[in-house]
Chains A and B, each alone.
Chain A
């Protein structure tokens, strides 16, 4: 079930009303209801994979209890934890990466004849997200950071909670699990904030991302036919597409969770207002970045080790992060590219320079900040070309074609009026996000005293979504990961 579908528009109010008016008497019942509707939500896409998610959840829950039970029994707890990690990553590996490695193997040993060894498995939606979420629980229990839960329903609700099940944020058990253990009361402010966040998420997905996709999907596959300026414009629009798509999804997920009295972690924090690439990575897909930081980077020694190890650790985390997105060399190259951008900052000890919000306390940034943000955005955009390309060769030719083919000409646009609208909306999105960059939630029109005016603004946004829906019914990009 897609967030931007009519099915979800029917599903959400029904679930909301039942949750607060029918199943609110008892916490266990409410959690059981969450599990049931989450499985319905997931099964709407393909019910066959419900068994897989249930199995993964059960194993992680069981391993948590066993790890805790044998925590003083020598290496048993470690073995159980390792077995659970291998099992989870094994399932993920088979579904997501087996065919990729089989193809590489066939290229080297079978003269490219891979057909006989390929499995052609369907990738279960959200497998990378819920696997990592479940893994974090058992690792935290093993590390003694978390008491395991005996309540299986709470744990199933934690792994399968429908707003963030298929594309995150990848929640930590330390944040989300206790929320399923505590009684929830309806809070008007949270619910209203949630509604605003859903509205803003839909705007970013439908108006920004889906409209950018039209241009991007035309130019990227036929890049040889376009001049450099058009290619650059398509790359920039892809940067906004992927941001609108993924942060839009996250906004809808976080907003929906708020309607149910659950607070999810922030996944995007205005990443395109970053002053260097290190800040960008503190603001982009925060739940994944911090996951890799906490469970891979720091255990490897982080930045408190020799320079050689810092270089190794940086590459490991970025390559893994790239590979997490999918079984394609382009994702690995994208990770490597970001590692190369990140390395100078970390080696010079400048990676934590910008921990505050840009132009804090000021209306506008200064010239230096503008330049830094623009440069960071351009560097990220080059990365997105690699990310979006079909293969490394495609990415390389695309980048060289930008420079080589009439970069200083007017980009071609089949429908100028449409693109004028699109750029206006991108500009308005940036203005909105700039104005609320220090706050966690968009569309906070608290300075506008008149309720009627605020109401009208929300109506205008909803009408804009309706009128500028390109009608392509695009799935969320991150569903494929």
Chain B
């Protein structure tokens, strides 16, 4: 028995050493990756974002706001931190990490919609894998993202369990965080889906208020923008009055302008969408141009100001 246990132990020790080496190698490799979900995270962690304007939100931020267009009209440097499949609780953790490694922005465009104040976790967890050694990731993200004990403690386990091949599937190219979608409308009937009910999560509400208060204290201008979604979907959405009341109250409290594009003609033209809630590249470019012009018209962006970078 002693011989068996000793040999098994020796085998486990060797396997552990190999797994630690693989973990370090793969994490390092992914921290250099500039496609898919890793591109934005790597820009954040390497402190490569030196933006006047940052755009925050879910997939609607990610695929709707083209920083290049904003920059060309507003003469600023902007970056899209939009995070696919995420309510504000996740967007906020990304923002906090952004602030840790990058200069303070002057303006934050916060995309708002029916899902913003919900609570999401556990979606596309693989995007966090390479950053497990970061203390902030360990404290702000890992506890909320449904990682198992084995994911958190065993070297390489999270990668093996997810499938290494799958880590490299997402090869979408983002430019300054924006990921334009070259797709055309693929949804015929507007049916009741899961994107219909407004519900604010109390934890997310606390984070949202904390975020707004912090931005106000730091003299960062927050702008709420409701980006276009396909107009027919509105008929199926519940709790819109409550949603707008919440956003308006917060806007009044923190002196935040609201730009609502839900009644824009773009919303009723399927040529600009690839599904009910997302604009395609054509739509995103049109919307980004319109937004930039509106920001300029309403003088919400001081284009003459220099970047005041502070950590």
- Could you tell me which A residues sit within 8 Å of B by CB distance? 6, 20, 186, 188, 191-192, 195, 415, 418, 455, 458-459, 462-463, 466-473
Contact = CB atoms under 8 A, between A and B. Distances in A.
Contact of A195 (B8, B148, B150, B161): B8
A477 B232 CA distance: 43
A6 B163 contact: no
B161 A471 contact: yes
A467 B11 contact: no
A463 B165 contact: no
Nearest to A7: B150
Interface stretch (B13-21, B58-66, B210-218, B289-297): B13-21
Would you call the interface of chain B mostly helix, strand, loop, or mixed? helix
Given A186-B1, A188-B3, A467-B160, A459 B165 contact: no
Nearest to A451: B7
B25 to A, nearest CB: 12
B148 A471 contact: no
B274 interface: no
A471 B165 contact: yes
A469 B160 contact: yes
Contacts, number: 51
Given A467-B164, A469-B161, 20 more contacts: A6-B150, A186-B4, A188-B4, A191-B4, A458-B11, A459-B11, A459-B15, A459-B18, A463-B18, A466-B22, A466-B160, A467-B160, A469-B160, A469-B164, A470-B166, A471-B161, A471-B162, A471-B166, A472-B163, A473-B161
Interface string B144-168: 0000101000101100111111100
30 contacts: A6-B148, A6-B150, A6-B161, A20-B1, A188-B1, A188-B3, A192-B4, A192-B7, A455-B14, A458-B11, A459-B11, A462-B15, A463-B18, A466-B19, A466-B156, A466-B160, A467-B22, A468-B164, A469-B160, A469-B161, A469-B163, A469-B164, A470-B163, A470-B165, A470-B166, A471-B162, A471-B164, A471-B166, A472-B163, A473-B161
Interface residues of B, number: 23
A195 to B, nearest CB: 7
B11 A471 contact: no
Contacts of A191: 4
B129 to A, nearest CB: 12
A458 B7 CA distance: 12
Nearest to B7: A192
A462 B17 CA distance: 13
A473 B163 CA distance: 9
Contacts of B150: 6
A434 B144 CA distance: 49
Residue among A195, A471, A472 with max Cβ neighbours from chain B (10 Å): A471
